[in-house]
A and B are shown apart, each in its own frame.
Chain A
Amino acid sequence: MLDLHPSGQASAAAELGSSLRTGSGPSFDRKARLRVFNSAFKIACIAAAAFVCLILLSILFFMFRTGVLTFQDVSFREFFLSTDWDPENDRYGALLFIFGTFALTGLTLLFSVPFSVIIAIFLAEMTPAWLRNLLRPVLDLLVGIPSVVYGFLGMTLLVPLLRDLTGHELADGLLAASIVLTIMVLPTISRISDDAITAVPKKYRDASYALGSNRLQTIVRVVLPAAGRGIMYAVILGMARAIGETMAVVMVIGNTAQIADSLFKPTAVLTSNIVMQISSVEFDSTWNYALYMMGFLLLVISLLMIVVMRFLQRKGGGHA
């Protein structure tokens, strides 16, 4: 069957090969074509990766170049140490926004971390499998709910509720904003912590149970310390989201340029101030430059958190 016309076939194949290589018409060298496609594809991929880096660099460049112009008219000290924000009268003290951002993030973490860790423990250690398989996708869906919806929720339900509960005339402020943010970051932090807890090897738990500890002791003394780095990672991720969140905060914080010495005093944070004022100012004005400088600050803060996160990951990788 195989050797019916051995010589004929060989010559045909040779002919075909040579005709493919040297034939008339457009060249049809499969190898060369593949090579061209391969390298073209590789170059396209390299270009795309370079483009992503370019975006970050140009964002850094633009923000810095525009932001640094602030200091033509405003002293470094005034911008960072004064709380007097009154751009109409040339007073650009951004401290109150910086303080607001940190206070809001701190409060949010204070509320969200305990709840998130408990939910993560609940999901990873206690729920039966069917409930877990139901709840995990639900939490994943919650991560995707738009922030403006949470803002609307806070504006229409939470703020009136707080107003009734506390008797303040205006309940907008840090507390309302941090509760809204807590609801927002809770699914994020708990899902990532949940993954971290699930990733703790089963033998650790077995060893702990074998030593006679009960579930509480196992979770607190063994599982949580082992998952500590992952939970830290989740918390930093939630923190990044809380610092950068704009719309949900704008809708409940009150947007008044005064420092928040009470939880119920309308105030402003970096993001909310930028979004409320940017559209009403000239591009070539100190006011606008100051807003860009605030954006640059936000950028630096979020990049710093990435550095911390990478540091944690590298340490974790070396440990495991």
Chain B
Amino acid sequence: MTGPSQSPAHPFAQRSGASAFYNRLFTGFVWFVGICVIVFILGLLFLLLQKGLPKLTWDFLYGLPSEIEEGGGIGPALFNSFYVLFLSLVISIPLGLAAGIYLAEFAPDNKWIGLVRICVEGLSSVPSIIFGLFGIALFVEMFQVGLTILGGAVSLAFLNLPVLTRVTEESIRAVPVEMKNASFALGSTHLQTIRRVLIPVALNGIITGICLVAGRAFGESAVIILTAGVTTSGSMWDFNLFSPGETLAVHLWYVQSEAIVPDAREIAQKATAVLIFVVLLINVIFRVPLWLNNRKTKL
């Protein structure tokens, strides 16, 4: 069952001429481009990590940023990043899961639900800056709370909701119908089936979705600039929801383009390395156990 090109004993395989030449040329070309592009992108990221990671110190990660002098840290920005990420996930995960479960399990198949699906899909393609503008209109203009961590977290949660909804719906739909029927046959109610059968089986997909969303929220900057501002409260461990909430991604942009500190470049390099490192970490920590689990169940 191998391709004809792999059996040289076959008389037809020994064709020479233009098409065979083009074929070989094409194969070589695709290999070349594929390897080059992937090596290029990975090389860039490696370069960024290599420039920043060795210079990292605890003082930098913990320290307060400085506006004028050298040696400022990223402590509050880093803390805000995790805080905003946590808050936005707390808001968006329950809502996203519930909406996804509704679309997968309860929703009747009619025009209204079609409209809801279009809404979810449409919302997931809305550019992030629109959520920022919406956040301004909502929090700064309507509720008059100004640029706050709360506003940033809620806007981020709105940004993440549609993605979570779709991921949940898709992974619950992917659960084999036999499992569902078996659960119903054992006498469980719909809620019990969802809780004990559908969600555990779909958990793999849902967690992948959550970690996708978390990585995106951690690195998101446009929404945060508009809704949480470009300053921090200036102290560590500030849990106040109404203090300004500059995150690490915003700080990176701010330092590189607006700040006047003399070591801006170095701060930016180190902040970039931290940013990439954390995003990779979020992905790896969540995915490796799932991946191992998958292999185990398959073998």
Contact = CB atoms under 8 A, between A and B. Distances in A.
Contacts of B257: 155, 250-251
A299 B126 contact: yes
Given A146-B220, A146-B221, A298-B130, A52 B34 contact: no
A52 B161 contact: yes
A114 B115 CA distance: 35
B34 A118 contact: yes
B215 A63 contact: no
A118 B30 contact: yes
Interface string B247-278: 00110110011000000010010001001100
Nearest to A122: B34
Interface in B122-140: 122-123, 125-134, 136-138, 140
Nearest to B131: A59
B44 interface: yes
A294 to B, nearest CB: 9
Interface string B17-43: 001101100110111011001100110
A291 B221 CA distance: 19
B195 to A, nearest CB: 9
B3 interface: yes
Contacts of A53: 115-116, 119-120
Given A52-B123, A118-B34, A215-B3, A142 B41 contact: yes
Nearest to A41: B191
Contacts of A144: 212, 215-216, 219, 279, 283
Majority secondary structure of chain B interface residues (helix, strand, loop or mixed): helix
Max chain B CB contacts within 10 Å: which of A140, A145, A151, A298? A145
Interface in B192-221: 192, 194, 212, 215-216, 218-221
Which of B115, B119, B126, B250 is packed against the most chain A CB atoms within 10 Å? B126
A148 B34 contact: no
B90 interface: no
Contacts of A305: 125
Interface size range of chain A in the complex: 35 or more
B293 to A, nearest CB: 15
A306 B5 contact: no
Interface stretch (A70-78, A86-94, A256-264, A274-282): A274-282
A244 B161 contact: no
Contact of A306 (B20, B122, B249): B122
Contact of B31 (A126, A149, A245): A126
A66 interface: yes
B5 A214 contact: yes
A222 interface: no
A209 B3 contact: yes
B42 to A, nearest CB: 7
A48 B219 contact: no
A108 to B, nearest CB: 14
A49 interface: yes
A49 B27 contact: no
B122 A303 contact: yes
Given A157-B44, A240-B125, A247 B222 contact: yes
A20 interface: no
Contacts of A209: 3-4
A121 B129 contact: no
5 contacts: A41-B191, A41-B194, A122-B34, A250-B253, A250-B257
Interface of A: 34-35, 37-38, 41-42, 44-53, 55-59, 62-63, 66, 115, 118-119, 121-123, 126-127, 135, 137-149, 151-153, 155-157, 183, 186-187, 209, 212, 214-217, 219, 240, 243-247, 250-251, 271, 274-275, 278-279, 283, 291-292, 295, 298-299, 302-303, 305-306, 309-310
Given A53-B119, A246-B127, 10 more contacts: A38-B189, A42-B190, A143-B212, A144-B283, A149-B276, A152-B268, A246-B129, A275-B132, A283-B136, A298-B129
> What 10 pairs between A and B have smallest CB-CB spacing?
A146-B219, A244-B127, A122-B34, A48-B98, A45-B102, A246-B222, A144-B215, A48-B99, A53-B119, A216-B23
